[in-house]
Amino acid sequence: MTAPAQTPANQSLLGRLKDIAGHSHVLTSEAETYRFRHGFRFGAGKVLAVVQPGTLVELWRVAQACVAAGKIIIMQAANTGLTGGSTPDGNNYDREIVLISTLRLTGAHLIGGGKQVVCLPGATLYELEGMLGAIGREPHSVIGSSCIGASVLGGISNNSGGALVQRGPAYTEMAVFGQVGEDGTLRLVNHLGIQLGNDPEAILNKLQAGTFSDADIDWDAGRGHDNNYITHVRDVDADTPARFNADPARWHEAAGCAGKLVVFAVRLDTFPAAKNPAVFYIGSNSTDELEDLRRHMLTGFEELPIAGEYIHRDAFNIAEKYGKDTFAIIRKFGTKFLPKMFAMKSKFDIFSKKFGFLPENLSDRIMQALSMFIPTQLPKRMLDYRDKFEHHLMLKTSATLAAPMKAYLEQFFTTATGEFFECTPDEGSRAFLHRFAAAGAAVRYRAVHHREAEDIVALDVALRRNDREWFEKLPKEIEDKIIVKLYYGHFLCHVMHQDYVIKKGYNAMDVEHSMLPGLDQRGARYPAEHNVGHLYQAPDVMLAHYRELDPCNCMNPGIGLATKKKNWVAESV
């Protein structure tokens, strides 16, 4: 049988894509496409090609060509997702896949004096944070409140959450996107609230160049973030979670589209950066004490904290050992170096696979060995609390809230069993960085302990806002299949990240499925912020949403364990 890439129709399409994006930006070999086809934690499959357009017009033409050729399109930005939502899922598709990488489409335009921003598909959080930092403002999410290296549009497409409790999940009602209709035609939709003309290519040229004026902008076009979230999260007696991906209240076109649209730009609100924030480090051996703190912090002050991040002692220890090099690199070089580092790591992994005698995960094992020579990165007071307390909470407040919060904590811990201290600026920075280093620590642990570890189960769980029994207790039959558990999360929002390293010989998917009924009984919702990807069954309301956005099922089919077939034809049993 002729290989798919060698058929005349496919050769014609590949030639067209090379004419549009340039020969060097249409990748077809296994080695060239490897890092795009494999997810950060999950997801892998074959593609006909990976295309890297360099302009919005090129993206439009590439998408048009793929739709006309009847190919599946998977949109991918930074590929930092944890559920495989922007990579292929196996090879059981009824059409060939063209994966479109938007990494070259960087850039953002500040409008309204920086109170809002228009982000292009490849804009990353660190890029936007740097741009806004120069004018004393911040984006919706900041580095560390979501995946390090993540794209802005990836967050919007998946309603990503993050640590900043005042801002809620990533959301906007203003975007420019391409949508494939029931007739199989790709159309450009401008709901950005900016007059850019009528011709698609003229619109996209103007959008990329930013050649529009304030007079072109409709300042009442829609919301640029979920401005109701503060009221929502304060309702600590509600019997439902504060935020989760399958909440229809936070879907609007590009927001929550999960790759079912070709998104060219989104328009978002920005926020004043907090000056001289305070960080309090809290340790306790009582989950009840931390829950009492959470409820009062959300209801007892006129102003909400900026963030409240939880980490369990076991996750603290794993992150200290297996995330130390990432921690040190960010401290030394900043987050802007990470994408380059990950790209070099990916190239090394691809190269090492050519030699069958080399071990799996060689780059991780080398990096872990080198990390042994890095000195301890954590302050002594944090290490002392690690030894004394099982549960750790990092609380960041504005300068105005710092004094009332400190007074409350002093009073609370006169009778409570835990303790707290106010961090120096360096301690506060290290505390939050350590918390976010935990997110990649399980991956490194599995790579180093490959003989004992089968795989990782990674859950992000939205607990009910009134749930006092927030700390998980697993049945013994599940515990016996786990080497180590990493619990960490956005505590004030009651969103927990739960990573489990599964013992060799057990199927990780089976273990995960055995956990889900317990979460259902607790009234939890999952996933909370990483979206369904190819790991979770999307509920009916979410599948209806995806069908409305993509009636032909040609954009990222299979999301939410749905059918991958054209026009949503049911899979045969």
Domain annotation covers residue 337? no
Q: Was 505 annotated as part of a binding site?
A: no
Domain annotation covers residue 166? yes
Identify the domain boundary among 243, 272, 301: 272
Tokens for 90?
Answer: 């196996």
Q: Was 85 annotated as part of a binding site?
A: yes
Q: Is 276 helix (H, G, I), strand (E, B) or coil?
A: coil
**Distance (Å, whole) CA 541 – CA 173:** 19
Q: Was 77 annotated as part of a binding site?
A: yes
Rounded to 10 degrees, the C-alpha dihedral 281/282/283/287 comes to -140
**Distance (Å, whole) CA 334 – CA 323:** 15
Do 396 and 499 fall into the same domain? yes
Strand partners, 284: 391
Do 375 and 462 fall into the same domain? yes
pLDDT confidence of residue 149? 65
Q: Was 560 annotated as part of a binding site?
A: no
Domain annotation covers residue 573? no
Q: Between vectors from CA 522 to CA 521 and to CA 527, what angle results, nearest 5°?
A: 100
Do 113 and 99 fall into the same domain? no
Do 321 and 363 fall into the same domain? yes
Q: List pLDDT tens digits, range 371-399.
A: 899 999 999 999 999 999 999 999 999 99
Do 480 and 423 fall into the same domain? yes
Domain annotation covers residue 537? no
Do 305 and 380 fall into the same domain? yes
Domain annotation covers residue 422? yes
The whole-model pTM stands at: 0.92
Number of Cβ within a 10 Å radius of residue 223: 15
Low-confidence stretches of the chain (pLDDT beneath 70): 1-5, 41, 143-149, 335-339, 572-573
Q: Was 178 annotated as part of a binding site?
A: no
Q: Was 31 annotated as part of a binding site?
A: no
DSSP designation for 105: -
Number of Cβ within a 10 Å radius of residue 374: 12
Strand partners, 311: 392, 488
Do 259 and 306 fall into the same domain? no
Q: Was 441 annotated as part of a binding site?
A: no
Q: Was 255 annotated as part of a binding site?
A: no
DSSP string, 36-86: HHS-SSS-B---SEEE--SSHHHHHHHHHHHHHTT-EEEEESS---SS-TT
Do 72 and 137 fall into the same domain? no
Do 19 and 63 fall into the same domain? yes
Q: Was 113 annotated as part of a binding site?
A: no
CATH number at residue 448: 3.30.1370.20
- Of 31, 27, 28, 47, the closest CA to residue 354 belongs to 31
In the chain, the number of structural domains is 3
**Distance (Å, whole) CA 525 – CA 514:** 15
Do 18 and 165 fall into the same domain? no
Number of Cβ within a 10 Å radius of residue 313: 18
CATH number at residue 197: 3.30.465.10
pLDDT confidence of residue 443? 86
Q: Was 184 annotated as part of a binding site?
A: no
Structural domain boundaries, residue 159: 108-272
Residues 6+ apart with CB under 8 A from 117: 108, 109, 110, 111, 128, 131, 132, 139, 267, 268, 270
Do 116 and 228 fall into the same domain? yes
Do 509 and 556 fall into the same domain? no
Domain annotation covers residue 1? no
Residues 6+ apart with CB under 8 A from 157: 75, 254, 255, 256, 257, 258, 259, 263
Please return the burial class of 520, using the count of CB atoms within 10 Å of its CB with bins 0-12, 13-18 and 19+.
exposed
Domain annotation covers residue 447? yes
Domain annotation covers residue 539? no
